[in-house]
């Protein structure tokens, strides 16, 4: 991957100790271990993520997800083995950055629409003018290395002809562009913030389209 220019930012990259912590967490995923190592989590993961959010104020309000899994309704390990940062999800669509042993995930779009949002999304896809601006937004994101999520439905939704020219889009229950970067040395340098910023900027036309054409949820999911 070519090197990119670096500007002065609050975010200096995730330290190598962040990856060491995630490896240890995978090997010792229990509450007592985490409580004894909470300071490492805060220093090596939470503080860099907050610095990253500080560099992205124009994208919206940040939200760091809590480390605990809710095991009351879904069995699994008590702790999330990743750090997730969401930005600008007050309306329809936003941005997301996730660090785990699987790599650095950079994503944007509408991940879990409510029923009324999904209905408006499909109506916008059905509209020729709106669909053209959507195609331009997706093309810009793809040019920056982001890919569009795969369709979730085998068949199209009710009310739309099977030969609809945008059936591939109509078969999606969410609209997200993303790239998962492998763990590389640039993640530990300020260059990481530049790369993240470039991809989130490239996804901004899609987020703007979602906010204008879909809007916030009006019903509960």
Residue 72 pLDDT > 80: no
pLDDT of 18 reads: 98
CA-CA distance, 8 to 193, in Å (whole number)? Answer: 10
Q: DSSP assignment of 78-145, as one string?
A: SB-SEEEEEE-TTSS-EEEEEEETTEEEEEEEESS--HHHHHHHHHHHHSHHHHHHHHHHHHHHHHTT
Residue 7 pLDDT > 60: no
More confident residue, 69 or 108: 108
pLDDT of 220 reads: 65
Q: What is the mean pLDDT of residues 10-15?
A: 96
Which domains does the chain show, CATH number per domain? 16-213 (3.30.930)
pLDDT level of residue 204 (50, 70, 90 thresholds): very high
CA-CA distance, 28 to 82, in Å (whole number)? Answer: 14
Q: What is the mean pLDDT of residues 204-216?
A: 96
CA-CA distance, 110 to 93, in Å (whole number)? Answer: 4
CA-CA distance, 218 to 207, in Å (whole number)? Answer: 18
Q: Encoding tokens for residue 173?
A: 């229950």
């Amino acid at each position: 991957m070519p090197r990119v220019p670096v500007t002065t930012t609050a975010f200096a990259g995730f330290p190598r100790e962040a990856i060491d912590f995630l490896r240890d967490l995978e090997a010792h995923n229990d509450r007592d271990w985490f409580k004894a190592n909470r300071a490492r989590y805060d220093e090596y993961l939470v503080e860099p993520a907050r610095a990253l959010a500080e560099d992205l104020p124009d994208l919206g309000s940040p939200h760091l997800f809590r480390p605990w899994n809710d095991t009351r309704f879904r069995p699994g390990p008590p702790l999330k083995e990743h750090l997730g940062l969401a930005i600008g999800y007050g309306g329809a669509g936003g941005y997301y950055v996730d660090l785990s042993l699987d790599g650095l995930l950079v994503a944007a779009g509408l991940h879990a629409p409510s029923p009324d949002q999904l209905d408006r999304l499909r109506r916008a896809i059905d509209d020729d003018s709106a669909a053209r601006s959507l195609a331009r937004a997706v093309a810009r994101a793809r040019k920056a290395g982001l890919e569009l999520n795969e369709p979730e439905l085998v068949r199209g939704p009710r009310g739309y002809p099977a030969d609809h020219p945008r059936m591939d889009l109509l078969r999606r229950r969410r609209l997200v562009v993303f790239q998962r970067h492998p763990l590389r040395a640039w993640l530990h340098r300020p260059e990481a913030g530049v790369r993240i910023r470039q991809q989130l900027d490239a996804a901004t036309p899609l987020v703007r389209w979602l906010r204008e054409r879909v809007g916030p949820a009006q019903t509960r999911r």
